[in-house]
Amino acid sequence: MGNCLGSSARVDASLSSLTTSASEASRIASKTSSSLPRSTLTIPSYKEKSSPRSLPTPRSESEILSSPNVKSFSFNELRNATRNFRPDSLLGEGGFGCVFKGWIDEHTLTAAKPGSGMVIAVKKLKPEGFQGHKEWLTEVNYLGQLHHPNLVKLIGYCSEGDNRLLVYEFMPKGSLENHLFRRGPQPLSWATRIKVAIGAARGLSFLHDAEEPVIYRDFKAANILLDAPRMQEFNAKLSDFGLAKAGPTGDRTHVSTQVMGTHGYAAPEYVATGRLTAKSDVYSFGVVLLELLSGRRAIDKSKVGIEQNLVDWANPYLGSKRKVFRIMDTKLEGQYPQKGAHMAATLALHCLSTEPKVRPRMAQVLTILEQLQAPNPAKDSQPAHQTVYSPACKSPLGQHRSPLNLTPSVSPLPSHRQCPRVR
C-alpha cells in the first residue's frame, strides 16, 4: 500500500480487497512537480447554482481558505480524529495520498472517540505525491462552494507546515471501482449500476449547467463514491475536484490547458490538443458507462491485444442489439433487460464519439438513463428508437436518427488506429 503504512489492514468490509488504483490507472499529466508551492495561487471560481450573487473571480488562496462552508482543522485535531492515522483506519490510497477513517463531534467538529459522533474520511497529501498544493487548493475552492446530493461534501481542510489534508463526509460503500473490479463485494445488480450511472450523471450535469460551468476532468470509477443512507443505498457522489476547471465562457468554445486526467478515461481530442470542453467529461462518462456494463477496466494491462483498451474492444458490439450481450459483465449472470442493455450501450457509443460536438450533453445522458430506470424501459412508454435529444444536438452522422438507434456502420467511435492516446 504505497507509502501510507507498513501494513494495510482495512476498516470497511466493502473495501476489504482494495489495492492502489493510481498504480493501475496511471494519470496523464504534462507536469511532474510534487512540491508544495507557497505562492498566492489564484484560480478561477464559480458559484453555486442556487447562489443569488456572483462570487469574486479569481479568488486568492486566503479567500478560498476562509470559506464559511469549510472548517480549518489543526493537524493535531485530525491526528486525534484518525487515532494517529492508524493502519486499521486506512480506507484507501490514490495519487494524492492516503485516506483514513476518523470521527468528529457533529456539532463542534472536534475529534471524537472512535465509534461516536460523525464519521469522516481524511485524505492526507503525501509530500512526494504527484498531486500537490495547487490541486489541494482547487479542491477546497470548488467543493467549498458547490453543494449537491451527487457531489461529496467537503467538511474542512488542514494546512499546517507542509501538511495538506482534506476532510470529507464518509462514504460507507467506498468507490465504484472497488465494487466493479475487486473480488469480494457482492456484484452490483443491473438496477444498482443504472442507479450509480444516474447519480454520477446528475453530478456532472449540475457542474456543466451551473451559471459558471465547471469541467470535472477526472471522471472515473475510482472517483465515484457510494453512499448508504437509509433507503438510499448506492447514491453516487463525485469526489476529487483537484483537476476541476472553470468551463469556457462567452464566445469561447474550449479552455486550453495542460493535459491532466487518467489514461483510458480522457477524451482523445483533449489528450491530443489540450483543448478542454464539457464534452471531454462526456467521453469519460461513456468510458465509465462501459465499465458498468462490462465489469471491465478502462485499461487492463493483464489482458492481451485490443482487450487492454475497453473502448477499442467494445466498439464493434455497442450498436448491435444482437451482439451487445458479448460485452456484458458475466457477473450479472444474464440478469439485465436486453433492451435496456442495448440502450445503455448505444448511449455509451454516443458519448464516445470521436467528434466532441456529436456527444450528447450530460443533461441528455441523464434523461436517457432515467428512462432505463423506469419499469420496463424501452418497452412500454419509451420505444428504443424514440429520440430524446433536442434538435439542436442532433447527430450529424444521422440527421434524424436517434442516438439510441445508431448502427455500427455509422458508429462515431474512432477505430483503434484513429484514436490518439497517451500511454
Ligand X SMILES: Nc1ncnc2c1ncn2[C@@H]1O[C@H](COP(=O)(O)OP(=O)(O)OP(=O)(O)O)[C@@H](O)[C@H]1O
Characterize the bridge pairing of strands 154-160 and 163-169. Answer: antiparallel
Q: How many residues in the shown chain lie near Mg ion by CB under 5 A?
A: 3
CA dihedral angle for residue 312, residue 314, residue 315, residue 318, rounded to 10 degrees: -160
Q: Which residue is nearest to ligand X (CB)?
A: 94
Query: Between 297 and 359, whose beta carbon lies closer to Mg ion?
Result: 297
Cis amide prior to 149 (ω within 30 degrees): no
Rounded to a whole number of angstroms, the minimum distance from the CB of residue 166 to ligand X is 9
**Contact of 58 with 40, CB cutoff 8 Å:** no
Characterize the bridge pairing of strands 154-160 and 71-72. Answer: parallel
218 a catalytic residue: yes
d(CA 213, CA 192): 28
- Tell me the torsion sign for CA atoms 244, 245, 248, 249: positive
- Give residues in contact with ligand X (CB under 6 A): 15, 18, 21-22, 27, 91-96, 99, 121, 123, 152, 168, 170-171, 174-175, 177-178, 222-223, 225, 239-240
d(CA 213, CA 216): 10
**Contact of 298 with 291, CB cutoff 8 Å:** yes
Please give the full DSSP string across 82-137, using - where no structure is assigned. TTTT-GGGEEEE-SSEEEEEEEE-TTT--B--TTSSEEEEEEEE-TTSSS-HHHHH
Site track for Mg ion across 170-209, x = CB under 5 A: ----------------------------------------
Considering only residues 85 through 124, tell me which ones interact with Mg ion, judged by CB under 5 A: 94
Of 82-90, 180-188, 238-246, 251-259, which segment contacts Mg ion by CB under 5 A?
A: 238-246
Rounded to a whole number of angstroms, the minimum distance from the CB of residue 243 to ligand X is 9
Out of ligand X, Mg ion, none, what residue 175 binds, judged by CB under 5 to 8 A for its kind, is ligand X
Query: Between 15 and 194, whose beta carbon lies closer to ligand X?
Result: 15
Characterize the bridge pairing of strands 260-262 and 27-29. Answer: antiparallel
Rounded to a whole number of angstroms, the minimum distance from the CB of residue 284 to ligand X is 13
Out of ligand X, Mg ion, none, what residue 347 binds, judged by CB under 5 to 8 A for its kind, is none
Out of Mg ion, ligand X, none, what residue 21 binds, judged by CB under 5 to 8 A for its kind, is ligand X
Rounded to a whole number of angstroms, the minimum distance from the CB of residue 51 to Mg ion is 26
Query: Between 171 and 413, whose beta carbon lies closer to ligand X?
Result: 171
Query: Between 143 and 419, whose beta carbon lies closer to ligand X?
Result: 143
Out of ligand X, Mg ion, none, what residue 298 binds, judged by CB under 5 to 8 A for its kind, is none
Out of ligand X, Mg ion, none, what residue 73 binds, judged by CB under 5 to 8 A for its kind, is none
Rounded to a whole number of angstroms, the minimum distance from the CB of residue 105 to ligand X is 18
Which amino acid does the sequence have at 72? S
For Mg ion, the binding residue among 240, 281, 291, 329 (CB under 5 A) is 240
Contact status: 223 vs Mg ion (CB under 5 A): yes
Sequence-ordered list of residues with C-beta below 8 angstroms from that of 294, at least 6 positions apart, any chain: 310, 314, 327, 328, 329
Rounded to a whole number of angstroms, the minimum distance from the CB of residue 246 to ligand X is 20
CA dihedral angle for residue 163, residue 214, residue 259, residue 252, rounded to 10 degrees: -140
User: Radius of gyration over alpha carbons of the chain, in Å?
Assistant: 21
Marked catalytic residue, from 218, 240, 312, 329: 218
How would you write 60-81 as a 3-class SS string?
Answer: CHHHHHCCCCCEECCHHHHHHH
Query: Between 168 and 206, whose beta carbon lies closer to ligand X?
Result: 168
How would you write 353-375 as a 3-class SS string?
Answer: CCCHHHCCCHHHHHHHHHHHHCC
Rounded to a whole number of angstroms, the minimum distance from the CB of residue 21 to ligand X is 4
**Contact of 89 with 83, CB cutoff 8 Å:** yes
Out of ligand X, Mg ion, none, what residue 91 binds, judged by CB under 5 to 8 A for its kind, is ligand X
303 labeled binding residue: no
Query: Between 177 and 329, whose beta carbon lies closer to ligand X?
Result: 177
Active-site amino acid positions: 218
Binding site for ATP: what residues are annotated? 124
Binding site for Mg ion (CB under 5 A): 94, 223, 240
Binding site: what residues are annotated? 124
